[in-house]
Amino acid sequence: MTQVLIKATELAEALEGANPPRILDCRARLGDPDAGRRLWLEAHLPGSLPIDLDRDLAAPPGQGGRHPLPTPEAFSAVVQRLGIAPGQPVVVYDDMGGQLAAARAWWMLACWAGHPGVRVLDGGLEAWLAAGFSLIDDGDAEALPATSAWQPRYDEGARVTADQVFSGRELKVDARSLERFRGGAEPIDAVAGHIPGALCRPSADNLDQGGRFKSPEVLSAELPEAAEVIAYCGSGVTACHNILAYAVAGKPLPRLYAGSWSEWIRDPSRPVARG
C-alpha cells in the first residue's frame, strides 16, 4: 500500500501544488451526531469539507451494530457529492489522532472503495496548528465542489461478517480499552466482555505522547501477528485505526469486522468472554 500518513508541512505544500488534495474534516463526538458539522463551522483546515460519521460513514444503527457500514450505493453517493475521484488525492483528519472517524474514512475510501491516494493527517488538527498553520472560518457556507462520476469497485473481501468471525480461526484484535475488553466496565454497550480468543490492542497505543503515530519499526514490534487478522472494536470505528497502524508498519492489513462488539452481542447465541 502507498504512503498512508501525511505531515502537516507536507499537506501545506500539497495545497499549493497543481493537484491539491480534497481534504475531509472527520471530527465527531460519540453520542452527539451534530458535533462534527458544528466543529467544522467553528473553524477548519483551509479547503476542507465535513464528512459525517453517523450520516456519511455509517448506516443507521440497528441489527448491524451502532455504526454499520452504509451500502456501497449509499457511500458512492457520498463520494460523488464530495467530488472525490481517483485522480485527485484525499487527506482526512480529525482531532483525536485519527482514532475516531479519520481512520474509518481512510479505510472506507482506500481499503473498501479502492481510492489509490488517501492519506491521514498525522496528529490531526493539533499537528496542523502546532506546525504554525491557521484554521479558517467560512461562516455557514459549505461550497461543495463539482460532483464526480466515480463508481468505486468495492472490495468486499476487506471485511468480514459476524458469521465469518464466529466460524473462522483468524486472530481477532480488539481496539477498545483493556478495561472494556476485560469486561470490567462497559459504558456504551449492553453486554461487557470480548469475543473469545481475541487479543486487546487499544487504538490509543498506536500513538506516541504527542498524538502522532509511532514509527513503523515500533508498530511492527508491537502489533499482534498471525497469518490472518480480523480487527474489531465497539462499533467498527477505532478498529480502522488498528488497520491503519498495520499499514503504517508495512504489514498485511487485517480485515474489518464492521459490526464489531455492538453487533456481536445482539445474538445471545454468540459466546462472550471476560477477564
d(CA 239, CA 232): 5
Give the rounded distance of the alpha carbon of 220 from its chain centre. 20
Asked if the model's pLDDT at residue 210 lies above 70, the reply is yes
d(CA 5, CA 124): 10
Asked if the model's pLDDT at residue 112 lies above 80, the reply is yes
What per-residue confidence (pLDDT) applies to 1? 58
Asked if the model's pLDDT at residue 190 lies above 60, the reply is yes
- Grid coordinates given for 174: 480488539
Asked if the model's pLDDT at residue 142 lies above 90, the reply is no
pLDDT tens digit string along 191-204?
999 999 999 999 99
Asked if the model's pLDDT at residue 184 lies above 60, the reply is yes
pLDDT tens digit string along 33-91?
899 999 999 999 999 999 999 999 999 999 999 999 999 999 999 999 999 999 999 99
- Grid coordinates given for 249: 508498519
Q: Compute the chain's Rg from CA coordinates.
A: 18
Asked if the model's pLDDT at residue 114 lies above 60, the reply is yes
Q: Are 26 and 36 in contact (CB under 8 A)?
A: yes
Asked if the model's pLDDT at residue 141 lies above 80, the reply is no
Give the rounded distance of the alpha carbon of 16 from its chain centre. 27
Instruction: Mark out the alpha helices in 131-213 (DSSP H runs).
Output: 162-167, 178-182
The full length of the chain comes to: 275
Residues 234-257: what's their mean pLDDT?
98
Q: Are 179 and 185 in contact (CB under 8 A)?
A: yes
What per-residue confidence (pLDDT) applies to 2? 72
Residues 11-28: what's their mean pLDDT?
97
What per-residue confidence (pLDDT) applies to 30? 85
Residues with catalytic roles: 233
pLDDT tens digit string along 150-177?
999 999 999 999 999 999 899 999 999 9
What per-residue confidence (pLDDT) applies to 100? 83
Q: Report the first-to-last Cα separation within the chain, whole angstroms.
A: 36
Provide the 8-state DSSP code for 43.
Answer: -
Q: Per-residue confidence at 23, pLDDT binned at 50, 70, 90? A: very high
User: In the Cβ-directed half-sphere of 47, how many Cα atoms lie within 13 Å?
Assistant: 13
Domains of the chain: 5-130 (3.40.250.10), 156-264 (3.40.250.10)
Quote the mean pLDDT of the chain. Answer: 95
Asked if the model's pLDDT at residue 139 lies above 70, the reply is no
d(CA 208, CA 46): 26
What is 127-169 written as a DSSP string? Answer: HHHHTT---B--TT-----PPP-------GGGEE-HHHHHH--
Taking the model in full, what pTM does it have?
A: 0.97
